[in-house]
């Protein structure tokens, strides 16, 4: 089965996926039982998408993720935190908006899980780049926004082309494909160093580039077609400098597309189903557990779509490891505050967090992610060469790797100086 051939089917399923939920959102009262009709439709469309294929790409992985995230968002808006046409009318100019206007607004609510520029916007959404604000542009001009997004996207694509080419060369040198193997934790220290470096490069560079490049491409298309304004497309990722704790890594640096739908589901389960007292430590960490459990399930679905057998997928192990990591982190911070910051001479800190605490924090998160992401990345690295393509088209395959590296270096200087990209 070929991914490109499935494109029209994906589009049809995605339209059905959104239109059913959006129609119910725009036409039914908040507590209407008709809204439960969305559940079998959501299940069926997801079941048609989450299937192994002969070859796959990050785009298909993001499509699977989009179906899963939008399903959680639909459950949230239809059933858990219900919205109706009055909520849809808040942002519409008409006093009595037409059905097409309400339907379009409902689709945008389902699509925009970060709820940018609404009263329920997700917290810690990055502000627009300093490239605009330093020039007095609090709302990025459309033309300049499109130019910047296009140039950065092309540069990101070429960087991914380099990693893709190196990966293809590495796989070709390994010889005949031997299939999936069990993860071995007891390996020599030099192999662990290689693993940790590879894992960190994958998460902090390749993973971010893949997600951010797709986001920039979508923003270019939507703003270019005048479906959205640039104000509705703030950066997907925060600053790496803020990722000095596991909480900050997921809550400030990493994208927030999953936060609102998954948090709504977890809050419903902890408060309405389990009846846990709020606030309490039990409720707090149960919420964290459920959010990472949902994230793990979503990534198991993505793994399965990449032909990784469910019993080989390490997604659940990896994402649930952060529950333990955050508990350790919270305990260490509480102990530090008790032992040090309770002293009168230690109540003030320069600029919030001292530099040495940030350095310790960066070492901590890099150690945790570098070690435990082995669960997640090991089976993905064992997929056959002809089964996974990091990009749909490789320029390096035609002009060679060295010219592409040269273009990336020169382009990186231009991106850094002219467009002031923030890391």
What is the pLDDT at residue 343?
A: 59
Residue 240 lies in a domain: yes
For residue 301, is pLDDT > 50?
Answer: yes
DSSP collapsed to 3 states, the chain: CCCHHHHHHHHHHHHHHHHHHHHHHHHCCCCCHHHHHHHHHHHHHHHHHCCCCCCECHHHHHHHHHHHHHHHHHHHHHHHCCCCHHHHHCCCCCCCCCHHHHHHHHHHHHHCCCCCCCCCCCCCCCCCCHHHHCCCCCCCCHHHHHHHHHHHHHHHHHHHHHHHHHHHHHHHHCCCCCCCCCCCCCCCHHHHHHHHHHHHHHHHHHHHHHHHHHHHHHHHHHHHCCCCCHHHCCCCCCCHHHCCCHHHHHHHHCCCCCHHHHHHHHHHHHHHHCCCCCCCHHHHHHHHHHHHHHHHHHHHHHHHHCCCCCCCCCHHHHHHHHHHHHHHHHHHHHHHHHHHHCCHHHCCCCCCCCHHHHHHHHHHHHHHHHHHHHHHHHHHHCCCHHHECCCCCCCHHHHCHHHHHHHHHHHHHHHHHHCCCCC
Asked whether residue 408 is domain-assigned, the answer is: yes
Q: What is the pLDDT of residues 215-259, one digit of tens each?
A: 999 999 999 999 889 999 999 999 998 999 999 999 999 999 999
The residue range of the domain holding 373 is 126-255+349-423
Of 319, 204, 210, nearest to 262 by C-alpha is 319
Portion of the chain with pLDDT greater than 70, in percent: 90
Can you read off the two tokens belonging to residue 261?
């739908």
pLDDT in tens, 333-385: 888 888 876 655 555 555 555 788 889 999 999 999 999 999 999 998 887 76
Cα separation of 55 and 9, whole Å? 16
Inside any domain, residue 182: yes
**How many domains are contained in the chain?**
1
Residue 76 lies in a domain: no
Residue with tokens 């002969």: 54
pTM here is 0.90
pLDDT tens, residue by residue, 27-53? 999 999 999 999 999 999 998 888 776
In a domain, 384, yes or no: yes
Mean pLDDT of 145-152: 96
- The answer to whether residue 15 sits within a structural domain is no
Is 413 domain-assigned?
yes
Answer yes or no: is 358 within a domain. yes
**Residue 3 pLDDT greater than 90, yes or no:** no
């Amino acid at each position: 089965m070929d991914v490109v051939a499935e494109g029209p089917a994906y589009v049809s399923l995605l339209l059905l996926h959104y239109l059913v939920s959006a129609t119910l959102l725009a036409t039914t009262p908040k507590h209407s039982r008709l809204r439960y009709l969305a559940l079998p439709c959501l299940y069926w469309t997801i079941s048609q998408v989450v299937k192994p294929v002969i070859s796959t790409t990050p785009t298909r992985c993001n499509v699977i993720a989009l179906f899963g995230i939008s399903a959680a968002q639909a459950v949230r808006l239809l059933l858990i935190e219900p919205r109706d046409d009055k909520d849809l009318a808040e942002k519409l100019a008409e006093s009595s908006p037409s059905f097409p206007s309400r339907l379009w607004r409902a689709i945008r609510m389902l699509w925009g899980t970060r709820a940018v520029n609404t009263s329920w916007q997700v917290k810690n959404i990055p502000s627009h780049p300093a490239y605009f604000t330093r020039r007095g542009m609090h709302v990025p001009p459309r033309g300049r926004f499109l130019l910047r997004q296009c140039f950065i996207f092309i540069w990101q694509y070429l960087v991914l082309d380099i990693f893709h080419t190196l990966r293809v060369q590495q796989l070709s040198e390994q010889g005949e494909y031997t299939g999936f193997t069990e993860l071995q934790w007891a390996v020599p220290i030099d192999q662990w160093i290689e693993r940790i470096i590879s894992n960190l490069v994958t998460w902090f560079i390749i993973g971010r580039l893949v997600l951010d490049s797709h986001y920039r491409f979508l923003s270019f298309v939507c703003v270019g077609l005048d479906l959205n304004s640039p104000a509705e497309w703030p950066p997907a990722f925060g600053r790496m400098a803020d990722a000095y704790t596991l909480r900050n890594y997921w809550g400030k640096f990493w994208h927030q597309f999953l936060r609102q739908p998954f948090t709504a589901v977890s809050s419903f389960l902890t408060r309405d189903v389990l009846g846990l007292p709020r606030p309490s430590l039990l409720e707090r960490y149960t919420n964290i557990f459920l959010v990472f459990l949902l994230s793990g399930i979503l990534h198991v679905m993505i793994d399965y779509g990449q032909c990784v057998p469910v019993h080989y997928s390490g997604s659940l192990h990896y994402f649930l490891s952060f529950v333990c990591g955050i508990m350790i982190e919270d305990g260490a911070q509480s102990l530090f505050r008790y032992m040090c910051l309770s002293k009168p001479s230690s109540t003030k800190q320069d600029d919030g967090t001292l530099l040495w605490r940030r350095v310790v924090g960066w070492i901590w998160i890099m150690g945790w992610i570098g070690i435990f992401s082995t669960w997640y990345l090991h089976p993905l690295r064992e997929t056959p060469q002809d089964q996974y393509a990091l990009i749909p088209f490789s320029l390096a395959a035609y002009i060679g790797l060295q010219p592409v590296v040269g273009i990336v270096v020169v382009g990186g200087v231009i991106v850094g100086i002219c467009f002031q990209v923030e890391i």
